[in-house]
Amino acid sequence: MAEGPLSFAVEARDAHTMARAGTLSTKRGDIETPVYMPVGTQGALRNLSPAQVVEAGTQIILANTYHLALRPGESLIAKAGGIHTFSGYTLPILTDSGGFQVFSLPKAQVGPDGVTFRYEVDGRAVFLSPERSIEIQEALGADIAMVFDECIPYPCPHQRALEALERTTAWEERCKIHHRRADQALFGIVQGGVFPDLRKRSAREIVALDFDGYAIGGLSVGEGRQILSDVLDVTVPELPEDRPRYLMGVGLPEDLFEAVERGVDMFDCVIPTRHARGGIVYTFQGRLRIQNARYRRDMYPVDTTCGCYTCRLFSRAYLRHLYLIRESLGSTLAAIHNLHFFHELMRRMRQAIMDGTFREYKRAFLRTYLKQSPS
Amino acid sequence: MAEGPLSFAVEARDAHTMARAGTLSTKRGDIETPVYMPVGTQGALRNLSPAQVVEAGTQIILANTYHLALRPGESLIAKAGGIHTFSGYTLPILTDSGGFQVFSLPKAQVGPDGVTFRYEVDGRAVFLSPERSIEIQEALGADIAMVFDECIPYPCPHQRALEALERTTAWEERCKIHHRRADQALFGIVQGGVFPDLRKRSAREIVALDFDGYAIGGLSVGEGRQILSDVLDVTVPELPEDRPRYLMGVGLPEDLFEAVERGVDMFDCVIPTRHARGGIVYTFQGRLRIQNARYRRDMYPVDTTCGCYTCRLFSRAYLRHLYLIRESLGSTLAAIHNLHFFHELMRRMRQAIMDGTFREYKRAFLRTYLKQSPS
């Protein structure tokens, strides 16, 4: 691995849980784990400039293959010199495979070769396969590419989950064979729905293919925190100690603690930016809905203990004003704060792991956070 | 003046025109003139953080009394410590008087005391007068406040313009009497429509009231460049040499040259940010409409000679992509560039005045700018 596009080292392990603190090294910089990856769906984080994203403490971002391949198209991005140059980011970037988006479309047709679907914007028919996904991701030039997997809905019967698992293993092998860029890491994805036997089997098959890292897919789709935790309990122990583990699409602070406690290193979710657009801001004392009338004359920052750009300069009353006049700067400032919050949360978890106090920190955080200052 | 809230010094005069380069000193910093003031209507420049506005080279911004008094209300802003603290700006701020907005409303009722109108957002009846405008502006705490004047439509008969002129002089005297904040400068406004006799008379009456600076109002309302220039020709010579001169609501590069040439020092306009929202970006080679299909694969920055954040990091193709996906970062990046363009334009005019080459610079600029690279 040290010779490859990525290396991963576990720096510390919590004595009482499976939580671990690590460093993921890429040619674009080191990433301290556990890490939260904000999502720049179409080559931009909504309402944020790259400078603002970096200033908020972001170490790596995610971009969506599905969206970028369709608009503006990966050949244009390749012509620009890749996704980093095109979108103005010098941070490491991970691209998903497009699978999750494609399988979310109502009329996707799945065959052994791949998936045919209609692009929601202009209705044209598009085909996506393991080979095509890898081809696109190599053109985009992300630091970490993801295999193309079959995503199933929740709930999903055992038989259907099994078929998808088998197809996923076959597809991931094709991804691995087709992947050529030596400067790009490739992560496998474990599927298997909510079934312990299938998760174990999928993990073993995927690990046997030998990827640079392992993602756990198909969760955070409505199954709830208990099932999420149960699936992690059976899946993570199947994954090698020396590779990074990535829980896709998670998430909320409560879920992050459960997953970090079970040994997951990487996360991505749209909520810091999406919730910002809705006026929801995260603090260590709970979430606030900034449009609420109670903040009309509130001259405190969103979080009095926060050091982000938004909290250094602006009051809740000013943010509320921006939402009322529908000024996008409101979403920008809330997103800056939310990104900072999630990065700071991961940093504190990491420190607790180093200090051997992860469980205590989790308890203390949740006690304050779930008290929910009335928003 | 040196003891007051503002001082103004002319640093250089062009030998062949009335153009002048000066320094306007406020307690929040020195402003080099001629200067372009971007407009933050409701306590924010659209799509821009204060840090981005400053980084683009902005020296002073304008905020709208009408909008802020109605939402969130000047008492809230005063509670926050004033408009600077509330909106996160440490730059000097100028507030208009609300007159222009109020007289633009279809059902405004004008009497000798002031104007009654219905607030467009919630329909409530509001009264604005010289005294009330000053009261609001003192609560907002801008560095420079403007008198409350009567604005007339264009075209407007001589008799109507004369009546408005007389009312304006009376109102400005009431503003001057009512104004108490020693740390806030107050500018008078010359009216008189497009009539040379009225402009001269208004200028003399307003100058006799002795303000910290003098604005020329009621222009840039559809009269065209020739009439604008003619009005400046008769108005500016009536204004004292030792006070700053401000042409309200201008504007476009071509108009700025005409006005600077005639001795105007300060300008404000919404076009850098408003046009950015429409995808229009300004360059020294002309304006571009960034959504245009010709930029689809254009990997050059908006302006290859520009040093702004947008031009340092992003291509025309990327900006076009952001507009196509309706991502507000597109407006943000275009606004950053446009602000930088207008500030750089004023800086180059200033340098030309210092060098005694203003006319040559104007000719050279317009030759390139009006060639209009086909957008």
pLDDT of residue B106: 85
Are B49 and A52 inside 8 Å of each other by CB?
Answer: yes
Q: In this complex, is the C-beta atom of B51 within 8 Å of any C-beta atom belonging to chain A?
A: yes
User: Mean pLDDT over all residues of chain B?
Assistant: 96
pLDDT of residue B2: 43
Residue of A327, A333, A336, A339 to mutate when probing chain B, most B C-beta within 10 A: A327
Identify the band that residue A3 occupies on the pLDDT scale cut at 50, 70 and 90: low
pLDDT surpassing 90 at residue A171: yes
- Mean pLDDT confidence for A47-61: 98
- Mean pLDDT confidence for B33-40: 98
Query: By C-alpha distance, which of A107, A220, A118, A205 is closest to A164?
Result: A205
Identify the band that residue A373 occupies on the pLDDT scale cut at 50, 70 and 90: low
To 10 degrees, what angle do helices B158-178 and B196-208 make? 10
Identify the band that residue A319 occupies on the pLDDT scale cut at 50, 70 and 90: very high
Taking the C-alpha atoms of residue A229 and residue A197, their distance in angstroms, rounded to an integer, is 15
- C-alpha distance from residue B187 to each of A119, B80, B115, B211, B218 (Å): 57, 25, 20, 5, 15
Query: Which residues of B are less than 8 Å from A291 in CB distance?
Result: none
pLDDT of residue A53: 98
Are B318 and A71 inside 8 Å of each other by CB?
Answer: no
Q: pLDDT tens digits for B178-197? A: 999 999 999 999 999 999 99
- Please name the residue of chain B whose CA is at the shortest distance from the CA of residue A320: B72
For B308, the 3-state DSSP assignment is: coil
What are the backbone dihedrals phi and psi of residue A367, each rounded to the nearest 5 degrees, phi first?
Answer: -60, -45
> Which residues, at least 6 apart from A50, have a Cβ–Cβ distance to it below 8 Å?
A87, A88, A89, A90, A91, B313
Identify the band that residue A4 occupies on the pLDDT scale cut at 50, 70 and 90: confident
Compare CB distances from A309 to B45, B47, B51 and report the shortest one's residue: B51
pLDDT surpassing 60 at residue B375: no
Query: Which residues of A are less than 8 Å from B71 in CB distance?
Result: 321, 324-325
pLDDT of residue B365: 98
Report the catalytic residues of B: 96, 268
Query: By C-alpha distance, which of A155, A139, A4, A154 is closest to A73?
Result: A139
Q: In this complex, is the C-beta atom of B49 within 8 Å of any C-beta atom belonging to chain A?
A: yes
Sign, CA dihedral B330-B335-B338-B340, equals: negative
Share of chain A above pLDDT 90, in %: 94
pLDDT of residue A2: 43
Are B329 and A47 inside 8 Å of each other by CB?
Answer: yes
pLDDT of residue A120: 85
Report the catalytic residues of A: 96, 268
Q: pLDDT tens digits for B322-345? A: 999 999 999 999 999 999 999 999
Least confident of A103-112, A261-270, B83-92, B170-179: A103-112
pLDDT of residue A121: 87
Q: In this complex, is the C-beta atom of A270 within 8 Å of any C-beta atom belonging to chain B?
A: no
Identify the band that residue B121 occupies on the pLDDT scale cut at 50, 70 and 90: confident
pLDDT of residue B373: 53
What residue ranges define each of the domains in chain A, with the CATH number in brackets?
6-33+64-269 (3.20.20.105), 276-369 (no CATH)
- C-alpha distance from residue B5 to each of A282, B65, B136, B196, B245 (Å): 42, 20, 18, 32, 16
Identify the band that residue B3 occupies on the pLDDT scale cut at 50, 70 and 90: low
DSSP B82: S
Q: In this complex, is the C-beta atom of A72 within 8 Å of any C-beta atom belonging to chain B?
A: yes
pLDDT of residue A372: 65
pLDDT surpassing 60 at residue B207: yes
Amino acid at B148: F
Residue of A90, A314, A329 to mutate when probing chain B, most B C-beta within 10 A: A329
Compare CB distances from B314 to A72, A88, A309 and report the shortest one's residue: A88
User: Mean pLDDT over all residues of chain A?
Assistant: 96
Are A318 and B80 inside 8 Å of each other by CB?
Answer: yes
Q: In this complex, is the C-beta atom of A80 within 8 Å of any C-beta atom belonging to chain B?
A: yes
Question: DSSP per residue over B3-17, as a string?
Answer: TSSEEEEEEEE-SSS
pLDDT surpassing 60 at residue A374: no
Identify the band that residue B372 occupies on the pLDDT scale cut at 50, 70 and 90: low
Taking the C-alpha atoms of residue A52 and residue A66, their distance in angstroms, rounded to an integer, is 25
pLDDT of residue A205: 98
Question: DSSP per residue over B11-55, as a string?
Answer: EEE-SSSS-EEEEEEETTEEEEESEEEEEETTSS-TT--HHHHHH
- Mean pLDDT confidence for B167-172: 98
Query: Which residues of A are less than 8 Å from B76 in CB distance?
Result: 296-297, 317
Identify the band that residue A1 occupies on the pLDDT scale cut at 50, 70 and 90: very low
Size of the A and B interface in Cβ pairs below 8 Å: 102
Query: Which residues of A are less than 8 Å from B43 in CB distance?
Result: 318, 321
Q: What's the ipTM?
A: 0.96
Are A318 and B42 inside 8 Å of each other by CB?
Answer: no
- Mean pLDDT confidence for B38-65: 97
- Mean pLDDT confidence for A330-354: 98
Query: Which residues of B are less than 8 Å from A72 in CB distance?
Result: 296, 317, 321, 324
Taking the C-alpha atoms of residue B308 and residue B133, their distance in angstroms, rounded to an integer, is 37
Query: By C-alpha distance, which of B219, B221, B148 is closest to B187?
Result: B148
